[in-house]
Amino acid sequence: MTTTESTKPVTIAVSFCKNDGKALFGVKAGMPVGYALEQASILMKCVEWLMLNGTGKSVETDTAQYLNDMARALVDACHPAV
The stretch 27-34 carries a mean pLDDT of 96
Task: State pLDDT tens for residues 34-57.
Answer: 999 999 999 999 999 999 998 989
Phi first, then psi: give them for residue 36, nearest 5 degrees. -60, -45
One-letter amino acid for residue 68 of the chain? N
Q: Predicted confidence band at 1 (pLDDT cuts at 50, 70, 90)?
A: very low
What is the domain partition of the chain in residue ranges? 5-81
SS3 (DSSP) at 14: strand
The stretch 17-31 carries a mean pLDDT of 93
Q: Can you give the pLDDT at residue 4?
A: 54
Residue, of 6 and 41, whose pLDDT is higher: 41
Phi first, then psi: give them for residue 16, nearest 5 degrees. -150, 175
Cα 7 from chain centroid (whole Å) = 22
For the chain, the straight-line distance linking the first and the last C-alpha, in angstroms and rounded, comes to 19
Q: Predicted confidence band at 80 (pLDDT cuts at 50, 70, 90)?
A: confident
